Amino acid sequence: MAPNFTSTLNLQAAWIGFLCGCLSGAALGLFFHRPDWLGGYGSWRRRMLRLGHISFFGIGLLNLGYGLTVRSLSVEAPAAASAALIVAAISMPTVCFLSAAREWFRNLFFVPVVSLTAAIGLITWRLVSL
C-alpha cells in the first residue's frame, strides 16, 4: 500500500519538530547555566521557554506515532486528526514562547490543548472502530 498524504505530512511534521526542539534547546542552552537568567529557574518566562522547547519533541512523537500507526495498520487516516496534530505542533511552542514574552498569551493555550484532545479522540475512535 502506498503511503497516504496525511501520514507523510505528519511524519514530516514530526522530524521538523525534532529539529526545532534541538535548535531551540541549543539556543536555550547558551544561557541555562546562569542561575538568574530570566528571573531564575522557577520563573514564568524560563518555564514557558522550557515547555515550548520540550513540546517540539512531545508533539513530534505524537505526529510520528500517528504517521506510523496509519501506515502499519493500513487504515484510512482521519484527515481532521492529522490537521489537528499539525495545528498543535505549531501552536503549542508558539503559545509557550509568546507567553514567555507576554503573560497574556497564556490565554491562548486552549488552541493547542483542544487540537491535541480532538486529534487523540479522533484517532482513538478510528482505531477502536476497526
The arithmetic mean of pLDDT across residues 108-116, rounded, is 98
- For residue 105, pLDDT beyond 50: yes
- For residue 5, pLDDT beyond 80: no
Q: Which residue, among 106, 25, 105, has the nearest Cα to 58 in the 3D structure?
A: 25
Report DSSP letters for 65-130, one per residue: HHHHHHHHHTPPP-HHHHHHHHHHHHHHHHHHHHHHH-GGGGGGTHHHHHHHHHHHHHHHHHHHT-
Percent of the chain with pLDDT over 90: 74
The arithmetic mean of pLDDT across residues 77-104, rounded, is 96
- For residue 1, pLDDT beyond 50: no
Q: Maximum Cα–Cα distance for the chain, whole Å?
A: 54
Specify whether the CB–CB gap between 88 and 61 falls below 8 A: no
Residue 73 CB partners (closer than 8 Å, separation 6+): 127, 130
How far is Cα 92 from Cα 57, in angstroms, rounded to an integer?
11
Q: How confident is the model at residue 14 (pLDDT cuts 50, 70, 90)?
A: very high
Specify whether the CB–CB gap between 79 and 49 falls below 8 A: no
- Worst-scoring range by mean pLDDT, 34-38, 50-54, 92-96? 34-38
